[in-house]
């Protein structure tokens, strides 16, 4: 897939709330998830789709309700995608959280090899 095709597929899947489906676009073993400001130290750098899915499941345990994400227009370059992303969460502890971030994906050989979250 081209980087543009990957960007289109990511937007489509995320708009549908198909987060796990988006991982089909990733290099399953090599992809790195980078979230340096995560309050959970173990989530700051993760390698491999299975580990990213486990992180998502762990995070999901604390969520009571989530809106569908609002995905902005991606900025696409030959080997990178910048994607505005916003989502509102109600947590099981009663608090609310708004994710308002930019996700930058690095693409190589038709697969996402890294995702980094800026917020």
Provide the 3-class DSSP secondary structure of residue 38.
coil
pLDDT of 13: 95
pTM of the model: 0.92
Average pLDDT, the chain: 95
Q: Is residue 65 classed as helix, strand or coil in its secondary structure?
A: strand
How many distinct structural domains can be found in the chain?
Answer: 1
Domain assignment of residue 27, given as a range: 3-118
Q: Where are the alpha helices (DSSP H) in 43-107?
A: 49-60
Mean pLDDT across 57-66: 92
Determine the pLDDT at residue 50.
96
Q: What is the pLDDT of residue 17?
A: 87
Q: Rounded distance, CA 6 to CA 32, Å?
A: 17
- Which residues is 100 bridged to in the sheet? 86
Residue 68 has pLDDT above 90, yes or no: no
CA–centroid distance for 93 within its chain = 23
Of the chain, the percentage scoring pLDDT greater than 70 comes to 100
> Which CATH number covers residue 82?
3.10.450.50
pLDDT tens-digit profile of 14-48? 999 898 999 999 999 999 999 998 888 989 999 99
């Amino acid at each position: 897939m081209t980087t543009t095709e990957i960007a289109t597929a990511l937007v489509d899947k995320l708009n549908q709330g198909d987060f796990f489906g988006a991982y089909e676009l990733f290099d399953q073993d090599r992809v790195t998830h980078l979230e340096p400001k995560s309050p959970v130290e173990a989530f700051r750098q993760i390698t491999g789709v299975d580990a990213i899915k486990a992180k998502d499941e762990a995070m999901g345990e604390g969520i009571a309700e989530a809106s569908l994400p609002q995905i902005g227009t991606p900025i696409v370059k030959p080997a990178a995608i910048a994607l505005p992303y916003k989502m509102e969460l109600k947590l099981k502890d009663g608090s609310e959280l708004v994710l308002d971030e930019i996700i930058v994906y690095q693409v190589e050989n038709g697969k996402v090899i890294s995702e980094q979250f800026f917020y």
